[in-house]
Amino acid sequence: MSDALKPPPIRVSRATAPQAAATGPRRIAWSGAGMAASDGAGVKLTRVIGQPALADLDPFLMLDEFGSDDPSAYIAGFPDHPHRGFETVTYMLAGRMRHRDNKGNEGLLTAGSVQWITPGRGIVHSEMPEQEEGLMQGFQLWLNLPAKDKMTAPRYQDIAPERIPVATPAPGVTAKVIAGELAGVRGPVEAGATEPFYVDIRLEPGAALTVPLTPGHNAFAYVYEGQAEVADGVLERGRIGVLSDGDSVALTSASGARLILVAGKPLREPVAKYGPFVMNTTDELRQAFADYQAGRF
Ligand code: MN
């Protein structure tokens, strides 16, 4: 999803220094709400990562939640736009969205499906709703690629709902494992350098579990239904909790909740970002623009 209407300024951040990985349970390092935003041809969404209060969380560049049963909030969709230098991960909870790209890929995202696109050196694609009414709900996550993979050949993974396994790691808990592993259940996404972990967890009232997380990887939880106790904090619907370092996170919910829990290995590389292009230097951004305008995607 590109900010086609109002391109943001070029943003450059420097590489961060690695720190010794911590063990022990993780805590909430920061929590906050998403911000109302509009993208594509006017789709209303909530920007959770990639907003002023939470610009990014290496290797995550953006997290959008979309969810509306009002067609005017989504019907215009995301017409043709480019991407280079990172991955886009769309997880549909409800609704139907048609994807088409200039590499000949086409797919229909239905409820419970995941689309994992690695644009690498460049694709041009559209993401358009294939419904005129009813609920459209889901997430799009932007995952950075390391410098060595930014210009890789474009790759497209369309994952049907039945290919996403469900783990039952504790009584009253079901978890769809999209990427990484939970309770011996491995997700279908073939992941790269950022070693992503992405699960969609449903907690029945009173359920509790502890999820192991790789020390040193950045992680967050986002509650999209109900209210959950995440580590030492309470997250209401619509709030993200960025976790401190550690080897696990405790989750409970007195009243029931649904949340996504996501983690990844930080790249610690400089980030130069302009709309749908995410590179390491401003020169590479200029090149991305020139290549796109010359039709070289
Ligand atoms: Mn897109």
Q: How far is the CA of 90 from the centre of ligand 1 (A)?
A: 9
Cα–Cα distance measured from residue 136 to residue 66, given in angstroms and rounded to the nearest whole number:
7
Residues 183-205 have pLDDT tens digits of 999 999 977 899 999 999 999 99
Amino acid 191: pLDDT = 79
Residues 1-12 have pLDDT tens digits of 444 445 556 788
Amino acid 14: pLDDT = 85
Going by C-alpha positions, the residue among 70, 80, 75, 81 that lies closest to residue 96 is 75
Amino acid 8: pLDDT = 57
Residues 50-97 have pLDDT tens digits of 999 999 999 999 999 999 999 999 999 999 999 999 999 999 999 999
Q: How far is the CA of 87 from the centre of ligand 1 (A)?
A: 10
Q: Which position has the higher pLDDT, 263 or 15?
A: 263
Rama region for 150: left / alpha / beta (φ>0; ψ in -120 to 50; rest): alpha
* Greatest distance between any 2 Cα atoms in the chain: 57
Q: How far is the CA of 81 from the centre of ligand 1 (A)?
A: 6
Amino acid 190: pLDDT = 79
Q: How far is the CA of 40 from the centre of ligand 1 (A)?
A: 8
List CB contacts of 149: < 8 A, sequence separation 6 or more.
120, 192, 193
- Whether 90 contacts 140, CB under 8 Å: yes
Rg (CA), the chain: 18
Residue 269 has pLDDT above 70, yes or no: yes
Residues 144-180 have pLDDT tens digits of 999 999 999 999 999 999 999 999 999 999 999 999 9
List CB contacts of 51: < 8 A, sequence separation 6 or more.
34, 35, 37
Proportion of the chain in helix, strand, coil states, percent, rounded to 5: 5, 50, 40
Residues 217-227 have pLDDT tens digits of 999 999 999 99
pLDDT grade for 20, boundaries at 50, 70 and 90: confident
Tokens 């590489």 belong to: 15
Q: What is the CATH number of domain 34-289?
A: 2.60.120.10
Q: How far is the CA of 2 from the centre of ligand 1 (A)?
A: 6
User: Where is 213: in which H helix or E strand?
Assistant: none
Query: 145 — phi, psi (to 5°)?
Result: -110, 145
Q: Is 283 helix (H, G, I), strand (E, B) or coil?
A: helix
CA angle 112, 110, 68 (to 5 degrees): 85
* % residues pLDDT > 70 (the chain): 97
Q: How far is the CA of 82 from the centre of ligand 1 (A)?
A: 7
Residue 47 to residues 13, 36, 52, 165, 269, Cα–Cα distance (Å): 20, 6, 10, 27, 23
Mean pLDDT value of segment 99-117: 95
Q: How far is the CA of 126 from the centre of ligand 1 (A)?
A: 7
